[in-house]
Structures are given as structure tokens and as C-alpha cells.
Chain A
Amino acid sequence: MVVTTSIESPAAATNTTRLARRRRGTFAADKLWALAFVTPYVAVFVAFVIYPIGYGLWLGSDPASYRSLFSDPVYPRTVVNTLLYLLFGVNLKLLLALLLSGFFMRKGWWTKILLLIFMLPWAVPALPSYLSINWMLNGQWGLINNIIWHVAQVDGPPWLDSHYFALGSVIYGHIWKWLPFWTLIFLAGRMAISLELYEAADVDGASLVQKFTHVTLPLMAGMYLVCTMLSTIWALGDFNAVRFISGGGPALSTHVLATLGIRNAFELGDPQLGMATVLTALPLLIPLVILLMRQLRRSEVTI
């Protein structure tokens, strides 16, 4: 995470400015070396970023694809799901992460061990975890409903068999998998806040809540915003959670754009339609990317 690092190493700022001042006078031989050094990345960028983007835009440029996309009753549902997924998945996750990062600031062996365990979901590969969550939530044989049955002798809710429950389950899976990562990011952010600020607040007799709202929050607001945008973009492209937890079911009611795109391309056999499906996320994606790139660039130089 770029942001975090920037907060952590103020040295970077001074170095960068000094660096900028010296940005002149490279020898010809050095230029050749520089060219040789950046060639691999430029090659990767052209071959695997520019070309696919161009090809994708070309694939998705047929208006007929959009006509057929908008006439598909699954599509509007998918758009709503995508928005709900982003709204709840991203915000709940980041809010929890922000609060939990405060908890993990506590000292003591127990917190350290807890943090180790807490990181597990992030270290376990995505696919096994999502398959496990899918099976755990199975209405007939899942662990959760088995527990409910043993405790209360009633059938648990049909986690994956009704639209809202299934969408909720997918969001739960997403949060479960990514909460540790964002908690860690915020934890690093908090650690960068000078302890003196808190000590000063203590002297003024501030309560826990006051310290949070008056010290932590203002200092971390910028970072929180960037994280929200970044997380939104990544969640927009999250294919695995939906694919393996709900599979888009029941009755194609929990697809998001990323999974519907793949379905339209490879199950319905229409790659152009699939590309058109993902491209309809551009009105959301482009402003986010512009904002985020501006934020990231700025934070890199200034903080």
C-alpha cells in the first residue's frame, strides 16, 4: 500500500524533492542503460495492458451487444447486486477494519497471538476458503445449519437459496477474506500517528471516543478515503467470491458484473456481450480511477 508507506517514511518526501532537483544531466551511456532497464516493463505494459485494453474496447464496441445486454432481465438485477455488494461489502469491511485496528493497537501477548490467528483468512488461498464457506452455508448439509439444528432443533435459514440471504452470504465471504488485510493497513496507519498526540490528549483528559474522533479520525481520513476507493475498484473486479459462494444463484439472482461478464462470454458463448457487460461498469470505474490516481500520486510526493 503506497499510502501507508508514505505516512510511515517522511524521509521519502525530502529525498524525492532532492531527487527532483537533481533530475538533469544523464550521460548518453546511462541513457542507453536506462532504456535497457525499463524495456522489460514497457514491453509487459504494451503487450499485456495496452493491447488487452484496446482489444477489449474493440470487442465491446458493437452497439448490438448493448441492445441485447439491456434486454436481458438478468442485467438490471446484476447492476443492483453490484451496487449493493460494493456499498455493503466495502464500507462494512473498512469500518470494521478501522475499528479493529484500534483494538489491535493494544499491547500484550494475547493481542499479538490474536492478530496472528486473525490474519489466517488472508493467508489461506481464496478458492479453498470460498468453497468452504459455500459448503458451510449449504442449507441441507452445512455446518451452520447443522449447529442451529443441534442447538435449537429448527431448520436454519436458506443461506444460499434466497436472493437476499445469498447476496448477504457473498458479502460475508468477501469481508471474511479481506478484513485482515485492511485491518493491517489501518494498523500501520495508526502506528504512524505520533504517540505524543495521544499523550497530549490524555493530559487534556480526553476519553477514548474523543481521542478517536479528534486525533485518529482526522489523521486517517485521507487514507480511509483512498482505501475506500481502492477497495471499491478491487471489489468491482472480484470474481471468486460470487463464483464460488453463491455461483450467481439462486436463479441468476446474485450475479455481479464481473461474474455476469464471464457467464455471458463463456457460458452464453458471446465474448462481445461479455465484454459489453463489464464495460458498463466504466461510468463508475473511470471517475474512481482518475480520483484515485490523483490521490495516490499526490500522497506519494507530499506526505
Chain B
Amino acid sequence: MKRMTRRQTLVGASAAAAAGTGLMPRRATAAGELTVWWTQGFYKAENDAVIAWMADWEKRNNTKVNLTIMNGPDVITKLIAGMQVGDVPDVVHTVTGDRFLVPRAAWNDQLEDVSDVVDSQKAEFTETALLSARLYNVKQKKYSYYGVPTKGSSLMNSVWLPLLQEVGFAATDMPGTQDKFYDFFQTVQDKLRSKGKRIFGLGYSMAAKEADAGNLFHQFLVSYGGVGIVTPDGKLNIDDPAVRKAAITSLERLTTPFKKGYVPPGAINWGDVDNNNAFFAKQIVMTPNATISIAAAQMDKPDLYYKEIITRGVPLGNDGKPVASVLAIAPTIIPKGSKNVDGAKAMLRDFIQPANLNAYLKETRARYLPVMASIVKTDPYWTDPKDPHRQVAVDMGLTQPTVPWWMSYNPAYSAVLSEQVWPQAEANITQRNMNPEQATDEAAKRIKQLFEQYQK
């Protein structure tokens, strides 16, 4: 026993010594190295594609790449914390960063200007992609490109065809305009219920967390005419009667079905994955979801992918005219403090060569859309008429009109999104018995406060 403890102590002491020496060196990236953080994909192949490309680039350029693949929220958290202490990687690819982090980081002068990288493919990028990447830096008093557009996504609607058929509907029975389209699923639910099936018609995400609820609300806002909530020169325009009315209608249209029992009660707590789960469990007939990930996840089951799951884009407006899709563009950024800015830029310039970008995006199973029109035109993969989902997504996100998220006009809107102001307004209606007008006023009040913190 005696010897035992002594040995333990010795081991402990040497561990302490090891820890002590570990304290000394700062993690330094040598000039020939790049530290890259990449947001993990939803499929293994997507990660593998990134890993393979990085390995190849490493060889071609004789630069060591330290690649870390993390999930979406982790990337944001770590980057925020890293920026606080000035310990940042050289390249970061984020998926939700365009909403929650990048605009404010650009505003605070925490990102490298990547205009030269973007310019190298400027003719290729779509207008919305360029708009999304152009952000304001308040320290240097200028608009510039602070992110490299990498991939896009907009709202899609996934529908179970078998559930429609069960109550005697066909895919063609789904109406094409906003209110009629979503109301249709209430009818489906009523009919399913009368057959004793405990299924909900609408899978609206309504939780004050992650991205889905915000995606849904803001697409509704645009569909009801509220696209001008922030003007392109960055002014908050929420008191504009048309915008206010659109906000009220959106809130009303999202919360009333919930209160009437057409949306699962748990939706108020759904994370981004949960509406997908509810859909796969056939608890809901349809769910709005950014991207075609629901269908894409079932690609290896041809029956589901080709026959049972239907993807619909954003419905036409109630007036029958096409509505712009709110297109999110995932940026890749170089944080200020990177020790190898030139290397990082060289890597990004190579990565956004249309051919390279296309190869990567195909591995996402078209879950993400190209940010370059030429990719879609030159590679038949994107317009494959046999694929029932991909062409809908491409049509919505590239062919039809799109608008950028409002953070590119004013980073204050990024605070509105991270604080989940609108989903909280929904909860004020469903949980605290406010009416949509009151909830809108309350939200507007908070949004004005947040905008005051971002004065040019």
C-alpha cells in the first residue's frame, strides 16, 4: 500500500510537471499552416468531401491544414469566445453565421476584408449572394465584402403524399397560393381525424431557438408583403403600415392553427431537427423546412424519395403573384487575428472555383444550393428532371426572385434573430394570451431598442 501510494504520487507529480510545461507555449500557427473550422454536414459524404479537398489542397500548396469539423452552434460559440481573447482560426465556414454572428463581427471590425477573394469570381456570384456578403464596418466606415458566399438555402415545404391520398387527395389538389396552400392541410387533418388518425396537419416550427422558427416567420413576413422591414440603406421601417400589417398577419397565421390544434403542441420546443423527426414519424402531414434536407435524408430509400415525399416551394402570394424567397447564404470568413491571411485567401480563392464549389455542393445532396448561376447551367445534376426535389429547390433559390436576409442592410437584425424576437412574439400569443397586434408592438419595441445599438 505504501509503495503504491508513493508511486501514485510520483506519477501525479510528473503529471503536474507535464501540465506545468504545457502552460508555457502559446498555440502558434506557423506561417505555412492554416487552421480551419468547418461546419459539419448532415451527411458523412459532405464531411468527407471537405476533408478530401483540404488534404488535396494541402499537398498542392505545401501548407499544413489543421481542419476541425464542428456542428453549427459550436462553431459560432467557439468563434465568439475566440474573438473575445484574440485566439482565432484562419478560415471558418459557418452555416448559421450569416444570421447570428458574421454581420456583427464585420460591424465591429473583427473580420478580414475578403473583397479580393470575392472579386476573383464576382461575375459568377448571384446578386443575392453578393448582397449577403457585403456588410458594413462601423470602425472603418465602409461597406465591403467580409464573407465569401459558399452555399445557399431557402424555405421549402415537405409533404407526405400517402397521407393526402389516405383522405382522397392527390398532389395536384394542393392549392398554389399562400393562405389556401397552408389551410389545405387543416382540411387534411380534419379528414384524418375523422378516420381516427392522430396526425397533425401543419408542422410549423415555433420554438425560440435555433433557426427554423425564424426561417418560417420571415418567409411568411415576405409573403405577406413585409420585405421592407429594413431598407437597403439600413433603416428600420417597422412602423410602416404595410410592414406592420404583414407582421401581424404572419403572427396571426402561424399562431391560430397552433391554438386550434393543427400544429403539435411540442412545436413550441422544436429544435431544428425535431420537425424533421415529427415528419419522419408521420406525426405531421407537412412541414416547412429550410432546404430539401427532409427528402435528401431519405435518398437511399427510393420509394420515399421519389414517390412519397413531395417538395413544394414557397406558395404564390394571395394575389397569385410569385413571392421572393428569403435566401440565406452561408459565408466562409477569415477572422481578424488570423496569422496567415494570405494563405487563407489563397485557399478560399481556390475553393470557390466553380468546379471545386460544385463538387462540394453535390455532396450535400443539393441540400444546399449553388451561389453561382453558371454551376446550375453547366451541370445537369442540378436540373435533373428525374429528381422531384432538387429542381424545386434550384427553381426557388436561383431562378425565381430571392431577397437577402436583412442583416446585410443592418447588423442589428442579426441581434433580432439571435434574441429570437419574433418566435418570442409567437409565444406571447400562444402562451401569454396576447393578440397579434400587441405581440407585434412588443416585438417592434424590442427591435427598436436593438437597432439603437447599431447607429452608423
Contacts and interface: CB of A to CB of B under 8 A. Distances in A.
- Which of B209, B264, B415, B453 has the most CB atoms of chain A within a 10 A radius of its CB? B209
Nearest to A40: B16
Interface in B216-248: none
A162 interface: yes
Contacts of B415: 268
Interface stretch (B75-83, B116-124, B153-161): B75-83
A158 B266 contact: yes
Nearest to A160: B269
Nearest to A270: B80
Contacts of B428: 251
Contacts of A266: 76-77, 80-81
A139 interface: yes
Nearest to A267: B418
B100 A269 contact: yes
A251 B76 contact: no
A252 B431 contact: no
B76 A267 contact: yes
Interface in B65-80: 73, 76-77, 80
A30 interface: no
B100 A161 contact: no
A89 interface: no
A253 interface: yes
Interface string A251-295: 111000000000001111101000000000000000000000000
Given A162-B431, A250-B269, A271 B80 contact: yes
- Which of B104, B266, B418 has the most CB atoms of chain A within a 10 A radius of its CB? B266
Interface stretch (B48-56, B143-151, B396-404, B419-427): B419-427
Contacts of B104: 269
A250 to B, nearest CB: 4
B429 to A, nearest CB: 10
B268 interface: yes
A248 interface: yes
- Which of B101, B265, B283, B453 has the most CB atoms of chain A within a 10 A radius of its CB? B265
Given A163-B431, A269-B104, A249 B268 contact: yes
Contacts of B420: 251-252
- Which of A139, A265, A266, A269 has the most CB atoms of chain B within a 10 A radius of its CB? A269
A17 B337 CA distance: 58
Contact of B76 (A141, A247, A269): A269
B208 interface: yes
Contact of A161 (B73, B266, B281, B423): B266
B142 interface: no
B424 A73 contact: yes
B266 to A, nearest CB: 5
Interface in A153-203: 158, 160-163
Contact of B81 (A158, A253, A271): A271
A26 interface: no
Contacts of B16: 40
Contacts of B444: none
Contact of B207 (A138, A163, A249, A269): A249
Contacts of A249: 207-209, 268-269
B268 A269 contact: no
B314 interface: no
Given A250-B207, A252-B424, A267 B77 contact: yes
A252 B418 CA distance: 12
Given A249-B269, A252-B424, A269-B80, A73 B446 contact: yes
Contact of A68 (B105, B283, B426, B453): B453
Interface of A: 40, 68, 71-74, 138-141, 158, 160-163, 247-253, 265-269, 271
Given A74-B424, A138-B266, A161-B266, 15 more contacts: A140-B264, A140-B278, A140-B283, A158-B265, A161-B268, A163-B431, A248-B209, A251-B426, A251-B427, A251-B428, A252-B427, A253-B431, A265-B80, A265-B81, A269-B76
10 contacts: A71-B449, A73-B446, A139-B265, A141-B281, A160-B266, A161-B266, A247-B209, A250-B431, A266-B76, A269-B101
